[in-house]
Amino acid sequence: MSAQLPLDFSAAIRARDAALGRCEQSGGEKFRSDAARFILAYLGAHGETPGEVLTEKGWEFGLRPTSLKHWGPVFMRLLREQRIEQCGTARRMRGHGSTGGKVYRLRQG
């Protein structure tokens, strides 16, 4: 029986955080704050919602960043601040029905 080697994800996590930081800066403070308020309000009114639906509804509302990637840091910040939580998964709308979509809700408790 072989022993499983420990995996060190610290370099990958640092690279992810650096990329999110660059993306967050290029999205701009106004977009970040407006998008966060929108996500919190939408989840408060509609409950559990896939992330892609949140970004789609945000676009319809008028939140139109230069790149859809600018939404990622908004979700990450709300998750880290424990204002929202992932509560499930969904098939992706933009991923041709592939798995990996995340469902969010307001943090309970």
Domain hosting 69: range is: 11-106
- Predicted TM-score (pTM) of the model is 0.81
Q: Does residue 6 sit within a domain? A: no
Q: Mind listing the pLDDT tens digit for each residue in 15-34?
A: 877 877 776 777 688 999 99
State the Cα–Cα distance between residues 99 and 91, nearest whole angstrom: 5
Other C-beta atoms closer than 10 Å to the C-beta of 42 total 18
Q: What is the pLDDT of residue 10?
A: 87
Q: Mind listing the pLDDT tens digit for each residue in 84-105?
A: 999 999 988 776 767 778 999 9
Q: Does residue 3 sit within a domain? A: no
Rg (CA), the chain: 16
The tally of domains found in the chain comes to 1
Q: What is the pLDDT of residue 23?
A: 67
